[in-house]
């Protein structure tokens, strides 16, 4: 399904009813909006694992502008401010009120931009394996610890000049180190990819953004999840986010021996914590 949001049509999918039969009444459940990582991929990275939450929430999977099955839009609109505004406009178009918004990796960056720019809109946030400011020095240290000097050098070249050949080398050598458990790579084959956008983002936006000083604008309870062996968004980035959010709102959950996207290495703990947060 696609819906008009500003100058583009955004693709989304829905799992679970908003209103559910409960004896003599219809019971309303919260809506969880999932923002995928990348950029340059799509929402399918969340399927089918997140289906296990559909018993307590309605799940809405969204492809960001320029990603997946959504319209490409103009490259000058491929930035965190516009992507964050898109989340609000998307919810308005579908009359989703007080959503719980979860963003993973790049999606977490979008979620923070959305919550900073529209602080009264979300009821809760989940920021998974993400960063409010990229620290490539931290990433290079973890890559070297996990894969040695050669892998560190490949990652350095990608961070400094993410051309298509360098990106291919990074995907081949560095991506397997994102997680501690062997990952089924079928998600790459089934996703709709836009590598031009990936290169565009890593060549520009990712080097400029710094939301740490603005995170104090967030008003809602925020769950932050991070793995201690995440090479692309190291756990120190999550600690920075938690420290920058107003006291009493942030809950940081650290995962041991876990990489990028904690549900991939420790699904039992991840989904238990997320379920508790959704029900709280």
Q: Point out the least confidently predicted range of 6-20, 153-167, 246-260.
A: 153-167
SS3 144: helix
Name residue 145's beta-bridge partners.
none
On whether the 2-279 domain is CATH 3.90.960.10, my answer is no
pLDDT of residue 61: 98
Please report which residue ranges of the chain form alpha helices under DSSP H.
80-94, 106-117, 136-147, 149-160, 164-173, 186-190, 195-203, 205-208, 235-244, 262-265, 267-279
pLDDT of residue 176: 94
SS3 267: helix
Name residue 262's beta-bridge partners.
none
Res 185 pLDDT > 90: no
Q: Domain ranges in the chain?
A: 2-279
Instruction: Give dist(CA 21, CA 190) in Å, integer.
Output: 34
Instruction: Give dist(CA 43, CA 68) in Å, integer.
Output: 7
Instruction: Give dist(CA 263, CA 267) in Å, integer.
Output: 4
Give pTM, 2 decimals: 0.97
Res 136 pLDDT > 80: yes
Per residue in 33-75, pLDDT (tens digit) is 999 999 999 999 999 999 999 999 999 999 999 999 999 999 9
Res 78 pLDDT > 90: yes
Instruction: Give dist(CA 45, CA 38) in Å, integer.
Output: 10
Per residue in 15-31, pLDDT (tens digit) is 999 999 999 999 999 99
Per residue in 85-126, pLDDT (tens digit) is 999 999 999 999 999 999 999 999 999 999 999 999 999 999
């Amino acid at each position: 399904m696609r819906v008009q949001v500003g100058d583009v049509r955004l693709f989304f999918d829905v799992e679970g009813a908003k209103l559910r039969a409960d004896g003599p009444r219809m019971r309303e459940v919260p809506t969880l909006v999932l923002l995928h990582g990348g950029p340059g991929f799509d929402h399918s990275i969340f399927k089918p694992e997140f289906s296990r939450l559909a018993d307590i929430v309605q799940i809405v999977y969204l492809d960001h502008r320029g990603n997946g099955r959504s319209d490409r839009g103009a490259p000058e609109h491929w930035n965190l401010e516009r992507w964050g505004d898109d989340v609000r406009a998307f919810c308005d178009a579908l009359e989703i009120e007080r959503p719980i918004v979860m963003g993973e990796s790049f999606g977490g960056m979008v979620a923070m931009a959305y919550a900073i720019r529209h602080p009264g809109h979300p009821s809760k946030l989940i920021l998974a394996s993400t960063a409010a400011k990229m620290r490539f020095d931290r990433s290079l240290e973890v890559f070297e610890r996990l894969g040695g000097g050669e892998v560190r050098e490949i990652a350095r070249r990608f961070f400094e000049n993410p051309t298509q050949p360098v990106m291919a080398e990074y995907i081949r050598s560095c991506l397997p180190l994102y997680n501690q458990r062997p990952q089924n790579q079928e998600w790459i084959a089934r996703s709709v990819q836009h590598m031009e956008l990936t290169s565009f983002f890593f060549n520009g936006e990712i080097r400029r953004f710094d939301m740490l000083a603005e995170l104090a604008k967030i008003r809602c309870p925020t769950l932050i999840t991070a793995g201690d062996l995440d090479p692309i968004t190291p756990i120190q980035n999550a600690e920075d986010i938690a420290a920058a959010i107003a006291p009493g709102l942030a809950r940081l959950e650290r995962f041991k021996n876990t990489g990028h996207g904690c549900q991939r290495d420790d699904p039992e703990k991840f989904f238990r914590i997320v379920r508790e947060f959704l029900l709280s």
